[in-house]
Structure 1
Amino acid sequence: MNLSDDAHGLAHVLRETILAMVRRDGADLSARQLAVLLTVYLTEGPHTVRGLAAELRVSKPAITRALDRLGELDFARRKTDPLDRRSVIVQQTAAGQTFLKELRANMAAAARGESSSRTATAAAEAA
């Protein structure tokens, strides 16, 4: 398989994953919100607003808005850093872990070539 085929296949997996996520019950995330969530859950922390802004190369207010939304969904929570009260640490939640598990299942199904509608149904039944 050449690079062009790989890129096409990855784009297809991304499309099917996004379709499954927007078709599921519950809120879907913007690209920025998803980037923040994935960074918090897949990279070693502790994570701060300042650190996330630097890593994602976006402004601190953009990170704050994304975290506001993730907090509304209970996918992440902010806590004042006990060692530096000026800093805020971003923490994972059980709901965020569940969302990430569902996201991974949708990606795996898309990579296997399963349709997003079947994936969404299977993910809902597993929850």
Structure 2
Amino acid sequence: MPVHNAPDQLLGILRETIVALVRRDGHDLSARQLGVFLTVYMSDGPHTVRGLAAALNVSKPAITRALDRLGELDLARRKTDPQDRRSVLVQRTVKGNGFLREVRGMMVEADKTTRTLAPSEPANSENAARKAG
């Protein structure tokens, strides 16, 4: 039976995961770079710049810039499609697979952390505003 997380718990998991990514040794990825990375690694390929741009609803140049960065970090690589030399395929890498495992681990830890914390109201909630005023 799947576990359903409350929206605030999901935001907590996202926050804890991003904080863990920022604190770790190595380079950070922007939200766009992480979105491209996760799309490549979590959905069936083959992936192309055009296909990624359509899937993420961003421009092809934005995808190209994200792939440039992912390529610098060896998290993804581009290869000319042997079937259609006009098309460029995006490939996964060994280092990218390792990074995906690392992100999964961070999310598992973040999930554990958010489950053990007592629920709290967001600082901008109506109740907090009433208490302050």
With structure 2 as the length reference, what TM-score do the two structures score? 0.81
Structure number with higher helix proportion: 1
1:31-90 deviation per Cα after TM superposition (whole angstroms, max 9, x unaligned): 000000000000000000000000000000000000000000000000000000000000
Q: How many residues align?
A: 111
Using the TM superposition, give the Cα deviation of residue 107 of structure 1 relative to its aligned residue in structure 2, in angstroms.
0.2
Corresponding residue number in structure 1 for 2:68: 68
Using the TM superposition, give the Cα deviation of residue 97 of structure 1 relative to its aligned residue in structure 2, in angstroms.
0.5
Q: Say which SS state the counterpart of residue 6 (structure 2) adopts.
A: helix
Corresponding residue number in structure 2 for 1:120: none
Corresponding residue number in structure 2 for 1:33: 33
Corresponding residue number in structure 1 for 2:44: 44
Q: Which residues of structure 1 form unaligned runs of 5+?
A: 115-127
Mapped partners of 2:58, 2:73: distance in 1: 22
Using the TM superposition, give the Cα deviation of residue 18 of structure 1 relative to its aligned residue in structure 2, in angstroms.
0.4
Mapped partners of 1:101, 1:40: distance in 2: 14
Q: Say which SS state the counterpart of residue 85 (structure 2) adopts.
A: coil
Corresponding residue number in structure 2 for 1:109: 109
Are residue 84 (structure 1) and residue 84 (structure 2) matched? yes
1:83-111 deviation per Cα after TM superposition (whole angstroms, max 9, x unaligned): 00000000000110111000000000000
Q: Which residues of structure 2 form unaligned runs of 5+?
A: 115-133
Mapped partners of 1:14, 1:43: distance in 2: 20
Q: Say which SS state the counterpart of residue 74 (structure 2) adopts.
A: coil
With structure 1 as the length reference, what TM-score do the two structures score? 0.85
Using the TM superposition, give the Cα deviation of residue 20 of structure 1 relative to its aligned residue in structure 2, in angstroms.
0.4
Are residue 20 (structure 1) and residue 37 (structure 2) matched? no
Between the aligned residues of both structures, percent identity stands at 67
Where does structure 1 differ by over 6 angstroms across 4 or more consecutive aligned residues?
A: none
| AA of the residue aligned to 1:45 | G
Q: Which has the higher Rg, Structure 1 or Structure 2?
A: 2
| AA of the residue aligned to 1:91 | Q
| AA of the residue aligned to 2:56 | L
Mapped partners of 1:107, 1:34: distance in 2: 14
Corresponding residue number in structure 2 for 1:6: 6
